[in-house]
Structure 1
């Protein structure tokens, strides 16, 4: 088991932190080197890719992936946490029906680069302390705005909203660091009502989709049957969006030593995955920041003797 390498796309259940999930899988697989690729709150379920063994070297690249979520927004009620777990702090009746077209118009207005203020109940650090720690002390402090990108947002129903049907589902594809809770509150403001996020599921993280994830029960069964490898995806899948270069055995030997090399011809991309002739991913190279015409390893995946 200790030689396992690859990416295990977990269907994270509600009620567990992302860290809890890593610890449980570490125990199941008896593997120490492991990490997840983007925190999900305990009450959020869905796609949580877990990098195992050598795949932990590409966690930072996977963190950059756009993510897709399906959320349910409830109008007329605001909470302390911006989701369904918090205390109600504002209520407002929906006095006139809101059509699907009105909702979609507001959603479309949210696409592109937007500014968000992280919620108080979040893990963002301010002055060396996490915001939720201030919140638990009953404090509200100034938080720096952050810029995020909403690539696409769409309404998933053809029904309108009134005082009897206050909730509606949406699908959002966004950059890392986006708070869907805060997005729900801002959508509510544009519609003229307090709002909160009632439910959230991550359906996609980069190339990994919900349909190919594994539950803990499936992982436990695979371990018992010694078939866990069938659930692991290769490191290649995580970095397939970088341009690929295959090098000779002579150059591969130099790369395994982390050698600075002449750039490839027409090297215009920021990152390149370097493979040997056996199809093994050796390293991720970037143009040298100080030495023109040269390139250097940004991340060594396979080193000499390993």
Structure 2
């Protein structure tokens, strides 16, 4: 008796939505920024999603994610100022600079510094300082991230780089556990800062036991959503958590175009003499809106006070 052939089952792919906006995510402990992107992308059934700068797996806190058209502007936050709450364990060192590495005590006689000693030392780290990037970082050497070499016990020479520390405040000091509030500029490695502070305090070193990012530029952790909260929402409430694309671009002045100029800029044509740009120097970047206040994208002031499209939304 011939047996009927059963066709192989086909995997039903979920329909991806072309949504655009910015999600302020409270990244949980233990997952990479890329993993957080993939989870958020699944939750929103989004066709396109990316982050604006990584947080280490052991770090938690504010991680803005860009969906759809917002990904065109995700690099804007890479140079933004950031704020962290960091907990340092003094007198111990870690192979990675944080709790993920192999921990060893520097010396049993390092002692615990007083609050006044900490305040004096921390003053030396405010302003422009030089840092040697950690081996466990995503900086690349000959096309490979440094952490790849570190995992193979290879040390690559790294030149010191200048970073800006705006402020450091002591939140608490209990025995050898120092909690700090840190406001810093782009490119600052808090793990390296922790190690340097530990050495400057005479403790031989320190490592991060906790790190939480609380602000990026004007965005605050209080505005952020947890992945578990988003998972429990219905689609409409979840989409309401997305901020508009132009929230990333508030540093640029806004220019309102009339109906004709908006059409021309969408067609890639240079528009001339908009009234809002008479006093703007050549090379300035501006936010462009149509006569209905709809965000179109970014433009650039050219010679003779004209505007050329720089980066526009596909479907504003």
Shift of the alpha carbon at 1:232? Answer: 0.9
**CA distance, structure 2, for counterparts of residue 94 and residue 271 of structure 1:** 57
User: Is 1:242–2:257 an aligned residue pair?
Assistant: no
- 2:12 counterpart residue number: none
Q: Tell me the residue number matched to 2:11.
A: none
Q: How many residues get paired? A: 296
Deviation by residue 1:209-260 (Cα, 9 ceiling, x = unmatched) = 11111111211122x3532122111122211121111121121112212333
Separation in 2 of the partners of 1:95 and 1:179?
24
When residues 208 and 143 of structure 1 are mapped into structure 2, their CA distance, relative to the original with a 3 A threshold, is same
Question: 1 CA distance for matches of 2:68 and 2:243?
Answer: 12
Q: Which of residues 182, 188, 193 is equivalent to 1:183?
A: 193
1:195 to 199, 206, 209: 206
Report 1:147-226 matches (<5 A). Answer: 147-157=162-172, 159=173, 165-193=175-203, 194-222=205-233, 224=234, 226=236
Per the TM alignment, residue 102 of structure 1 is displaced from its structure 2 partner at its CA by 2.3
CA offset at residue 92 of structure 1? 2.3
Residue 276 in 1 paired to residue 299 in 2?
no
Range with greater deviation from structure 2 (81-90 or 194-203): 81-90
* Structure 1 residue 89 displacement after superposition: 4.8
State the shift of 1:262 in Å.
4.1
Q: Distance in 2 between matches of 1:110 and 1:22?
A: 33
Gaps of at least 5 residues in structure 2 are 1-15
Structure 1 residues 49-88: aligned runs within 5 Å: 49-88=64-103
Could you say which structure has the larger radius of gyration? 2
Q: CA deviation at 1:97?
A: 4.8
8 A Cα contact 2:112 2:176, kept in partner: no
2:93 is paired with a residue whose SS is strand
Q: Distance in 1 between matches of 2:151 and 2:120?
A: 36
1:266 equivalent in structure 2:
279
1:250-285 C-alpha deviation (Å, 9 max, x unpaired) = 211122123334462111483211111211111212
How far apart in 2 are the matches of 1:260 and 1:151? 41
Task: Give yes or no for the alignment of 1:105 onto 2:120.
Answer: yes
Is the alpha carbon distance of 1:97 and 1:15 closer, same or farther for their aligned partners in structure 2, counting shifts above 3 Å?
closer
| Residues 258 and 103 of structure 1, relative CA distance in 2, 3 Å threshold | farther
Instruction: Provide the rounded CA distance (Å) in 1 between the counterparts of 2:269 and 2:168.
Output: 45
Pair 1:140 & 2:151 matched: no
Cα distance in structure 1, aligned partners of 2:145 and 2:45: 31
TM-score of the pair, normalised by structure 1: 0.89
Counterpart mapping for 1:87-102 below 5 A: 87-93=102-108, 97-102=112-117
- The equivalent of 2:25 in structure 1 is 10
Distance 1:21 1:81 in 2: 22
RMSD: 2.0
1:255 matched to 2:265: yes
